[in-house]
Amino acid sequence: MSGSGDGPAILAEGLVKRFGVFTAVDGVSFEVPPGRIFGLLGANGAGKSTAIRMLCGLLAPDGGRARVAGIDVARDPEGVKSRIGYMSQKFSLYGDLTPRENAEFFSSLYDAGGGGRGDPIARAFERTGLSGGAGRPEGVLTRDLSAGYRQRLALACAILHRPRVLFLDEPTAGVDPVARRRFWDLIYGFAEEGAAVLVTTHYLDEAEYCSEVTLMRDGRIVAAGKPGDLKRACFPGIVLEIECGSTGPALEALRREPWVEEAAVFGSRIHAALAPGFGSDRVSSLLAASGAGEAKIRETDPTLEDAFLKIVSSTGAASLGGAGSGPTGGGAR
Partner 1 sequence: MNGRIRAIARKEFRHILRDPGSLGALLGLPLFLLLMFGYAVSLDVDEVPLEVRDLDRTPESRALAEAFFAGGRFVPADPGPGGGESALETGRAAAVLEIPPGFARALGRGEASPVRVAVDGSDGTRAQTVAGYIDGLCLRYGGDLRALEAERAGPADGGPPGAVLDIRPRVLFNQELRSVVFLVPGLVALILVITAVVSTALAVVREKENGSMEQILVSPVGALELILGKTLPYAAVGAVSAAVVLGAAALLFGVEVAGGVGALAWTTGLFLLASLALGVLISTMADTQQVAFLISTMLTLIPTFTLSGFVFPVRNMPAVIRWVTRLFPTTYYLEILKAIVIKGAPFRYYAGPAAALALYAAAAIAAASVRFSRERSRSR
Ligand X SMILES: Nc1ncnc2c1ncn2[C@@H]1O[C@H](COP(=O)(O)OP(=O)(O)OP(=O)(O)O)[C@@H](O)[C@H]1O
Which 6-35 positions form the footprint of ligand X (CB under 6 A)?
A: 19, 24
Does position 58 interact with partner 1 (CB under 8 A)? The reply is yes
92 binds, among ligand X, partner 1, Mg ion, none (CB under 5 to 8 A by kind): partner 1
Sheet bearing 71-72, strands edge to edge: 22-32, 10-19, 63-68, 71-72
Shortest spacing between CB 304 and Mg ion, in angstroms: 19
**Cα gap 31→33, rounded to integer Å:** 7
The number of beta carbons lying within 10 Å of the beta carbon of residue 43 is 14
Shortest spacing between CB 23 and partner 1, in angstroms: 14
**Of 220, 219, 218, 235, nearest to 308 (Cα)?**
235
- Cβ distance to partner 1 smaller for residue 101 or 208: 101
The DSSP bridge pattern shows strands 84-87 and 165-169 to be parallel
Indicate the SS3 state at residue 185.
helix
46 binds, among ligand X, partner 1, Mg ion, none (CB under 5 to 8 A by kind): ligand X
Which 6-35 positions form the footprint of partner 1 (CB under 8 A)?
A: 19
What's the Cα-to-Cα distance from 80 to each of 12, 27, 77, rounded to whole Å?
14, 22, 5
**Residue at 145: amino acid letter:** L
Shortest spacing between CB 92 and partner 1, in angstroms: 3
Shortest spacing between CB 151 and Mg ion, in angstroms: 15
Shortest spacing between CB 119 and partner 1, in angstroms: 16
- Helix or strand (DSSP H, E) at 80: helix 77-81
The number of beta carbons lying within 10 Å of the beta carbon of residue 278 is 17
Does position 111 interact with partner 1 (CB under 8 A)? The reply is yes
Q: Going residue by residue from 141 to 170, which x/- string records binding to Mg ion, judged by CB under 5 A? A: ------------------------------
Does position 290 interact with Mg ion (CB under 5 A)? The reply is no
Does position 45 interact with ligand X (CB under 6 A)? The reply is yes
Non-local CB neighbours of 260 within 8 Å, separated by 6+ positions: 254, 272, 273, 274, 275
**Cα gap 168→154, rounded to integer Å:** 10
What's the Cα-to-Cα distance from 219 to each of 16, 22, 44, 160, rounded to whole Å?
9, 10, 11, 32
Shortest spacing between CB 53 and partner 1, in angstroms: 8
Q: Which of the ranges 9-17, 42-50, 201-209, 270-278 carries the binding residues for Mg ion, by CB under 5 A?
A: 42-50
Does position 91 interact with Mg ion (CB under 5 A)? The reply is no
3-state secondary structure 297-331: EEEECCCHHHHHHHHHHHCCCCCCHHHHHCCCCCC
The number of beta carbons lying within 10 Å of the beta carbon of residue 174 is 12
Shortest spacing between CB 158 and ligand X, in angstroms: 18
Indicate the SS3 state at residue 71.
strand
Q: Going residue by residue from 71 to 90, which x/- string records binding to partner 1, judged by CB under 8 A? A: ------xx--xx-x-x-x-x
- Cβ distance to partner 1 smaller for residue 53 or 123: 53
Which 90-109 positions form the footprint of partner 1 (CB under 8 A)?
A: 90-94, 96-97, 101, 104-106, 108-109
Does position 62 interact with partner 1 (CB under 8 A)? The reply is no
**For binding to partner 1 (CB under 8 A), which residues are involved?**
19, 53, 56-60, 77-78, 81-82, 84, 86, 88, 90-94, 96-97, 101, 104-106, 108-111, 113-114, 157
Interacting residue ranges for Mg ion, rule: CB under 5 A: 48-49, 89
Q: Which residue ranges make up the site for ligand X (CB under 6 A)?
A: 19, 24, 42, 44-50, 89
